Structure 1
């Protein structure tokens, strides 16, 4: 695997890495449940159910289980109500994580191409990035509807490499979940994770990314480090675990 200094482009996860969207998800979930005349969710960490796209999220909310599912008619009605409520929120509570703007400005200044690959719909992802004032940093936004398979499939990373005309091993995936790490490994990319990402409530270090950062403000410095990625990852995993994440999607 290439050293970090030889990375030619960066792929970011959106939710739980760049943007905290958990509050909007929770509002939409509660509105859906109210419309269906179901009891309130009353779950603080909705983010533990996120990261696999809206379909699985809705099954989890309606069943109250991370591996749960509901009959198709219930799912279809719930999905329509949830997406309507989420769009009506218009990202009212979404916010960038600390260090994101610093990171993106530095990478843009250095002319490092950046792409967002997300399990959100492309249109919603573009709207969110635009509303938060960071869409201009990204050459591409690839949502689940732009790809054959969502993460943990490597399709998004391979498509990004193709469109940017770089080799997959010249990319690094920056995310926060085991899905991001698995997608990166399958594509032959490097994998850097934030410690606060949406990862089912499990410390991301168990997924063995190349590095774990508490703030994306540190990422440009990581790219300047000429140490092999695996060595850097081992040194970070030896440190104490990061502080708990914010509410996140």
Structure 2
């Protein structure tokens, strides 16, 4: 049996414009200048509290910003220009892996459980994933708790588990949990950073993932 765990934003979902817009609206509501786009995207993958703590420091209003972001994000979701499409190949690869009896699929994300449920509603994924770990369930990445909980939930061992993500936080989490890490080059952190963090491979096409799985355990 093999457990393949996916990050969401930057890995499955192309949410850059939505996340940057929600951050900008949140900072504006607090009378603060928003960070540059590159800086905004650099914290994607962390929980909201950890992301805003990173952006404004412990003396800044990071708790209030994290709460305000939730409101801004919900409001902007109705804007079709900022809708969060899936990356090319994601639908077909997930469907293909879901048909393999020896593969279980999981999610480990800095999103809230409500956000994941909304995504699952939109794409009909409620029965596709065997385990779902969110920012509501565990410490922020790169802490290994999400992967440890996912493995415990489905009875998988670290040697049977692969984390697929677009940030160094995903890679570091996988290594801390004793799992293998596969990076994707279309997300928030550059391929060279993913390799330096310990990703065994960095995909440039979603369609290349299934061929790696026999070598990942």
State the TM bucket, normalised to the shorter chain.
0.7 to 0.9
- Report deviation, 1:84: 0.6
The within-5 A match list for 1:173-212 is 173-199=163-189, 203-212=193-202
- Report deviation, 1:139: 1.6
| Aligned 8 A contact 2:185 2:191 in 1 | no
Structure with larger RCO (C-alpha < 8 A, sep 6+): 1
- Report deviation, 1:200: 7.6
The within-5 A match list for 1:119-130 is 119-130=110-121
| Aligned 8 A contact 2:89 2:207 in 1 | yes
- Counterpart-to-counterpart distance in 2, 1:201 and 1:83: 29
| Aligned 8 A contact 2:181 2:201 in 1 | yes
* Residue in 1 that maps onto 2:62: 75
| Aligned 8 A contact 1:22 1:47 in 2 | yes
- Structure with max Cα Rg: 1
* Residue in 2 that maps onto 1:90: 77
Is 1:43–2:34 an aligned residue pair?
no
Q: TM-score, normalised by structure 1?
A: 0.75
Unaligned runs of 5+ in 2: none
- Counterpart-to-counterpart distance in 1, 2:35 and 2:5: 33
The within-5 A match list for 1:37-186 is 37-39=31-33, 41=35, 43=37, 46-61=40-55, 63=56, 68-71=57-60, 74-90=61-77, 92-111=82-101, 112-147=103-138, 149-186=139-176
Q: Which of 179-188 and 51-60 deviates more?
A: 51-60
- Report deviation, 1:37: 3.0
The one of 1, 11, 18 aligned to 1:24: 18
* Residue in 1 that maps onto 2:5: 11
- Counterpart-to-counterpart distance in 2, 1:93 and 1:201: 25
| Aligned 8 A contact 1:95 1:132 in 2 | no
1:154-201 residue CA offsets vs partner (Å, 9 max, x unmatched): 211111111111222211111122222222122221111111232389
- What count of residue pairs does the alignment treat as equivalent? 213
TM-align CA RMSD? 2.4
| Aligned 8 A contact 2:52 2:63 in 1 | no
Moved over 6 A (4+): none
Q: 1:179 to 1:79 in 2, by over 3 A?
A: closer
Q: 1:45 to 1:133 in 2, by over 3 A?
A: farther
